[in-house]
Chains A and B, each alone.
Chain A
């Protein structure tokens, strides 16, 4: 499962902050929010592909986590537990959108998107043409992901962004290992169809 964010030696541990939060210390919980909001927001953003909705859902995940804190047993890392909540909140939202009939994942839904990688940690000074190509490629990737079904987008994000093992993805969704691999295959196949001009010319 996703690992906790690296912490400075002098930083208060998740465990201490969670224990304080469980006693109702909102300031301790605020530190946890600050520590993990970037990762939780990235996950909701990649799944939802809409800045505003992702922002709201990330918040919803933290609220749900706060409410569920009394049941947190410390047998899993806090971030793993929080991640699971955020994933479920986001995926429920996706499924509802799909049921409501507005789940066609087209370009219009990504009008507020930002270029993939644009908000990531600085990558150093790239030559302008290289930076432009990277930005364009990032844009193409986001567009392609936005067109995937919720199920396919889910496995791509869990595998490619979060780096989860197949077994972890199967446990999180939940579904069988075979389903995870089949979804990964077809998700990649669809991405390949949309991005074939990028990769086939470069091979």
Chain B
């Protein structure tokens, strides 16, 4: 076990951090302390070897992918920050309800109804209506339907679903799925005149994009 100052002297000698006088004094000890001389020279040779064999720069594996991944992540950060800044104000805030879980359920259920109405138009005023299929991620939501002869319309009841805000006059919905990525879809909502009032889609990162047009 060496005294700390001896350790430090040895380190400084190896690294060439001693001035001329210090170095001469330290090396003078080598004559009487062969073990120290061997240790010092071995460590210095090893240190030089480390410097020669440990590159300060290396080729990054899959370098292009490395950059791309960083770009994807900082784009995600930028989008998240933009959302956070816009939260609670303006058009985006007005559409916050679109991001609520019930909206996804409503969209899904509405799809089932749209399919039903398109496939089985109620041209004869039939009193029987049947849900052909439906899917809701929330198992507490149950869809049922009946024909209201007074309104001359098929009524869809979604039990267990939050109420859709009354001021939203969405009369129709259309979902188009990507042929390449089935998980990617754009959803367009129409008013009673068949004019698109909202479109929700996803960008390449899977983030929602909402357009008023």
Contacts and interface: CB of A to CB of B under 8 A. Distances in A.
B18 to A, nearest CB: 13
A58 interface: yes
B61 interface: yes
Interface stretch (B46-54, B94-102, B202-210): B46-54
Contacts of A4: none
B70 A33 contact: yes
Contact of A185 (B7, B42, B58): B7
Nearest to A160: B50
Interface residues of A, number: 57
B75 interface: yes
Interface in A173-189: 178, 181-182, 184-186, 188-189
Interface in B94-148: none
Interface stretch (A59-67, A87-95, A102-110): A59-67
A59 B103 CA distance: 37
Contact of B60 (A37, A160, A182, A195): A37
B43 interface: yes
Given A33-B70, A37-B67, A156 B53 contact: no
A184 B42 CA distance: 15
Contacts, number: 138
A141 B61 CA distance: 21
A109 B206 CA distance: 36
A192 to B, nearest CB: 6
A172 interface: no
Interface in B1-52: 2, 4, 7-8, 10-12, 14-15, 17, 38-39, 41-43, 45-47, 49-52
Interface in A148-203: 156-157, 159-163, 166, 178, 181-182, 184-186, 188-189, 191-192, 195-196, 198-200, 202-203
B163 interface: no
A192 B42 contact: yes
Interface stretch (A7-15, A41-49, A124-132): A41-49
B3 to A, nearest CB: 11
Nearest to B70: A62
Interface string A116-154: 110111000000000000100110010001000000000
Nearest to B68: A30
Interface of B: 2, 4, 7-8, 10-12, 14-15, 17, 38-39, 41-43, 45-47, 49-63, 66-67, 69-71, 73-75, 77-78
Given A116-B53, A188-B11, 18 more contacts: A30-B71, A38-B60, A39-B56, A39-B57, A42-B56, A43-B56, A55-B62, A59-B69, A59-B70, A63-B74, A117-B55, A119-B55, A121-B55, A156-B50, A161-B51, A161-B55, A188-B43, A192-B39
5 contacts: A37-B67, A42-B56, A42-B57, A161-B54, A188-B43
Interface of A: 24, 26, 29-30, 33-34, 37-39, 41-43, 45-46, 51, 55, 58-59, 62-63, 66-67, 116-117, 119-121, 134, 137-138, 141, 145, 156-157, 159-163, 166, 178, 181-182, 184-186, 188-189, 191-192, 195-196, 198-200, 202-203
**For the complex of A and B, 4 pairs with smallest distance between CB atoms:** A120-B55, A185-B7, A42-B58, A38-B57
